[in-house]
């Protein structure tokens, strides 16, 4: 898993360092041990790990009386912790998304209590899909001979964490039927092992038969089986998800179905609509000999285009324009019937004291560091750009600041921070666009049909009924959009149109994610993508991407950006557009 995490980061992913939680529960079933019993149990396990040549700094103990992770940032790149030994001390007040594996070394004849501790391995990093399959699942390893009882406790723990039986998978299929019938959807894979009953929880661990795989050695047969099962289950899960109609009520829980209004394709258009298969961009991923992966074709994501983006070395030329200094705090307004958050301006002595603290001459040496941390807190996550690159970039900006600039920055931190964030976004967008064009020229990125119109949509707010709409109801539109599509719907050469729903519908996936406003089908078999823009809005990147998409998609596809009166390179004024489209 760690090898895959390293490869994941090389491909633009976030830093991940998988952690194993060992649950050394006592055989007598007591929730808590006395200090002597506790130390004996966990220390024995720690000694076994050290015998396996695991560095001692990678192993920490967290129990009621021993807390070796206090003050440690487990998510930090500088942290070396990979194994945490506990009994029940992790039930509350602790969290680490890097905890992927729960290994229970409880007495083999006891029913393992994992209801609360299980949640520690369900908070996967960054709540996103990773490129490597092992990083998309969590794992429970248990050696209890009363496995079925233990399994029921695991299920209870999953239920309390918000999961249903559809979200986990039993690794040993021979135990699947007596447990209960389960859906192929899984996020947690449970692996039972068979061990004979032995009093000491560590005495049957034979370290001589365990080898730690290196980058050049194949893992043991047991590990290979677990990896194979996990990959198969992940593939099944992704296949099931890909086959689901995201807007079909059958994919929604029963309770939600009753609350969501859906609209179907009109019968008259069904046959023609089913034939539409809109092209999207795909990336060729080279084979990876280390993990035995063949060349793949994956939908292109922007993070694929930022591989090699060295923000820390990029241009730091930013024009900071000073504005009137204002400082606010957010507090509860107790004068109202219900206490609600309210913005309160800080003036006078309060503001002066805050500024005095930030700009204290005694803190000058650490000023850049303090301001950098503050700016990063405000900027937040800018995935897939690594935090370290952002930190170095901000440091470079601040290193040349004079005292008066720091003072102005302190008074206008949100304005300054916004300019820095916009600069980072601009630099990354330029890099991604250049990489995208390079990939197109070298065929690393190509286009292929991949998006079909859903049978049902659930747009939330709906618009007025306009002729030739594909669905019974279409998504909400503004006045300009309604005017344009009404003109189009009344043309004799148009078969049908639909409002493309933002973030749910079709996207042109390039150096930006672009969801055009409308998908229009002509009677001649041409599919048109239309984006309408108010004259006050800029959209040059979308125009460029739309043009590239149309040039690669083929003669049956067109892309149009339309303004009412404004003249923009690559876009159309409404009058000119309507004259063109009536002849397509």
pLDDT in tens, 105-137: 765 455 555 554 555 555 556 556 677 778 878
Predicted confidence at residue 490, as pLDDT, reads 96
Same domain, 362 and 463: no
Domain boundary residue, one of 214, 243, 272: 243
Question: What is the phi-psi region of residue 162: left when phi exceeds 0, alpha when psi lies from -120 to 50, beta otherwise?
Answer: left
Asked whether residue 48 falls in the same domain as residue 192, the answer is: yes
State the pLDDT at residue 399.
Answer: 87
My answer on whether 400 and 486 are in the same domain is: no
Q: What is the pTM of this model?
A: 0.60
CB contact at 8 A, 151 and 179 = yes
Residue at 303 is within a domain: no
Same domain for 69 and 207, yes or no, is yes
CA–CA separation, 134 and 234 (whole Å): 8
For residue 249, give the 3-state DSSP assignment: helix
The predicted structure's pLDDT at residue 340: 54
Domain co-membership, 403 together with 464? no
For residues 261 and 461, give the distance between their C-alpha atoms in angstroms, rounded to a whole number: 10
- The confidence score (pLDDT) of residue 531 equals 97
Same domain, 51 and 134: yes
pLDDT at 142: 74
Are 48 and 210 in contact by the 8 Å Cβ rule? The answer is no
Alpha-carbon gap, residue 236 to 227, rounded angstroms: 14
365's tokens: 């040496």
Confidence band for 189, pLDDT divided at 50, 70 and 90: low
- Classified as helix, coil or strand, 454 is coil
Query: In this structure, is residue 305 part of a structural domain?
Result: no
The most confident of the ranges 164-173, 405-414, 483-492 is 483-492
Task: Tell me, yes or no, whether 261 lies in a domain.
Answer: no
339-343, 345-349, 467-471: least confident range: 345-349
pLDDT in tens, 528-556: 999 999 998 889 999 999 999 999 999 99
C-alpha distance from residue 577 to each of 483, 498, 541 (Å): 13, 18, 20
Confidence of residue 24 (pLDDT cuts 50, 70, 90): confident
Which neighbouring-strand residues pair with 456?
A: 264
- For residues 89 and 198, the model is more confident at 89
Average pLDDT estimate for 275-300: 81
DSSP string, 91-122: SSS---TTEEEEEE---TTSPP--TTGGGGGS
Secondary structure of residue 124 in the 3-state scheme: coil
Query: Residue 244 — very low, low, confident or very high, per pLDDT cuts 50/70/90?
Result: low
Residues 536 and 388 grouped into a single domain: no
Instruction: Tell me whether strands 518-522 and 494-499 are parallel, antiparallel or unpaired.
Output: antiparallel
Spatial separation of the C-alpha atoms in residues 51 and 184, rounded to whole Å: 39
Say yes or no: 35 and 84 in one domain. Answer: yes
C-alpha closest to that of 390 among 403, 400, 377, 406 = 377
Count of domains forming the chain: 3
pLDDT for 74? 84
Angle, to 10 degrees, between the axis of helix 413-441 and the axis of helix 367-379? 70
Residue owning tokens 């003050």:
71
Question: Within this chain, do residues 316 and 233 fall inside the same structural domain, yes or no?
Answer: no
Asked if residues 571 and 561 have their Cβ atoms less than 8 Å apart, the reply is yes
Q: Are 464 and 434 in the same domain?
A: no
User: Which residue, of 412, 438, 464, is where some domain finishes?
Assistant: 438
- Please check the confidence at residue 366 and state whether its pLDDT lies above 70: yes
Tell me, yes or no, whether 398 and 541 share the same domain: no
Structure confidence at residue 469 (pLDDT): 97
Task: Tell whether the model's pLDDT for residue 76 goes beyond 80.
Answer: yes
Give the separation between CA 22 and CA 27, rounded to whole angstroms.
Answer: 15
Of the pLDDT bands very low, low, confident and very high (cuts 50, 70, 90), residue 314 is very high
Q: Within 13 Å of residue 109, how many CA atoms lie on the same side as its CB?
A: 7
What pLDDT was estimated at residue 404?
A: 82
Two tokens, residue 17? 């360092």
Burial 455-491 (b: 16+ CB within 10 A, else e): bbbbbeebbeebebbbbebbbebeebbbebbebbeeb
Tokens of 25: 């529960």
Query: Structure tokens of 286?
Result: 């080279």
**Segments forming the whole domain that contains residue 123:** 2-243
**Do 73 and 20 fall into the same domain?**
yes
Residue 536 lies in a domain: yes
Position 248 in a domain: no
Report percent pLDDT > 90 for the chain.
Answer: 37
- We report the CATH number of the domain holding residue 459 as 3.40.1350
Q: Do the domain assignments include residue 465?
A: yes
Q: Sort residue 29 into left (φ over 0), alpha (ψ -120 to 50) or beta.
A: left
Percent of the chain topping pLDDT 70: 65
Angle at 53 between CA 48 and CA 59, to 5 degrees: 65
Find residue 297's DSSP bridge partners: 284
Residue 527 has pLDDT above 80, yes or no: yes
On whether residue 400 sits in a domain, the answer given is yes
Would you tell me the crossing angle of helices 479-489 and 574-581 to the nearest 10 degrees?
Answer: 20
Measured CA distances, 144 to 100, 278, 476 (Å): 20, 52, 56
Is residue 222, in this structure, part of any structural domain at all? yes
pLDDT band (50, 70, 90) for residue 150? low
The structure tokens 């258009």 sit at 269
Tell me the two tokens of residue 402. Answer: 């004079």
Q: State which of 244-258, 380-394, 451-465, 568-582 shows the largest mean pLDDT.
A: 568-582
> Count of alpha carbons within 13 Å of 289, Cβ hemisphere only?
3
Nearest CA-CA partner of 572 in 527, 522, 533, 526: 533
């Amino acid at each position: 898993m760690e090898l895959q995490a390293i490869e994941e980061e090389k491909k633009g992913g976030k830093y991940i360092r998988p952690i194993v939680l060992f649950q050394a529960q006592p055989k007598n079933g007591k929730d808590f041990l006395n200090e002597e019993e506790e130390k004996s149990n966990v220390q024995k396990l720690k000694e076994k790990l050290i015998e396996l040549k695991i560095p001692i700094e990678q192993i920490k103990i967290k129990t009621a009386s021993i807390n070796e992770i206090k003050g440690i940032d487990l998510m930090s790149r500088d942290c070396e912790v990979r194994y945490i030994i506990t009994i029940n001390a992790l039930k509350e007040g602790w969290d680490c998304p890097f905890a992927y594996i729960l290994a229970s070394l409880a007495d083999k004849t006891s029913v393992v209590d994992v209801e609360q501790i299980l949640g520690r391995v369900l908070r996967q990093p960054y709540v996103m899909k990773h490129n490597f399959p092992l990083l998309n699942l969590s794992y429970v390893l248990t050696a209890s001979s009363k496995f079925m009882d233990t399994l029921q406790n695991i299920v209870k723990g999953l239920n309390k964490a918000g999961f249903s039986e559809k979200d986990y998978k039993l690794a040993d299929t021979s135990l699947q039927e007596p447990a209960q019938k389960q859906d192929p959807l899984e996020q947690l894979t449970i692996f039972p092992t068979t061990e004979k009953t032995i009093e000491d929880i560590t005495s049957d661990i034979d370290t001589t038969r365990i080898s730690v795989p290196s980058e050049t050695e194949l893992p043991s047969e047991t590990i290979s089986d677990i990896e194979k099962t996990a990959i198969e289950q992940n593939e099944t899960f992704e296949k099931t998800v890909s086959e689901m109609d995201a807007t079909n009520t059958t994919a929604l829980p029963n309770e939600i179905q009753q609350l969501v209004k859906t609209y179907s394709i009109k019968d008259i258009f069904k046959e023609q609509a089913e034939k539409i298969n809109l092209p999207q961009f795909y990336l060729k991923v080279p084979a990876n000999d280390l993990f035995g992966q063949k060349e793949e074709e994956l939908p292109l994501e922007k993070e694929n285009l930022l591989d090699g983006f060295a923000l820390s070395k990029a241009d730091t030329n930013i024009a900071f324009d000073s504005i009137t200094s204002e400082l606010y705090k957010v507090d509860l307004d107790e004068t109202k019937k219900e206490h609600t958050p309210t913005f309160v301006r800080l003036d006078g002595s309060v503001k002066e004291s805050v500024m005095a603290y930030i700009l204290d001459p005694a803190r000058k040496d650490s000023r850049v560091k303090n301001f950098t941390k503050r700016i990063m807190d405000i900027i937040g996550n800018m995935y897939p750009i690594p935090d370290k690159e952002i930190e170095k970039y901000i440091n470079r900006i601040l290193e040349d600041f004079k005292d008066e600039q720091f003072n102005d920055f302190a008074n206008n931190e949100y304005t300054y921070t916004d300019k820095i964030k916009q600069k980072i976004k601009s630099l990354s967008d330029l890099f991604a666009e250049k990489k995208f064009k390079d990939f197109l020229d070298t065929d690393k990125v190509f286009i292929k049909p991949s998006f079909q119109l859903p049978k049902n949509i659930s747009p939330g707010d709906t618009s007025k009924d306009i002729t030739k709409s594909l669905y019974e109801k279409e998504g909400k539109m503004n006045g300009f959009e309604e005017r344009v599509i009404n003109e189009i719907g009344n043309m004799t050469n148009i078969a049908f149109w639909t409002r493309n729903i933002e973030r749910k519908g079709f996207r042109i996936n390039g150096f930006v994610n672009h969801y055009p406003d409308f998908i229009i089908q002509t009677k001649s078999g041409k599919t048109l993508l239309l984006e309408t823009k108010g004259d006050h809005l800029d959209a040059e990147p979308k125009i460029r991407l739309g043009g590239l998409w149309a040039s690669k998609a083929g003669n049956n596809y067109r892309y149009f950006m339309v303004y009412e009166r404004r003249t923009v390179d690559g876009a159309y004024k409404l009058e000119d557009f309507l004259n063109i489209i009536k002849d397509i």
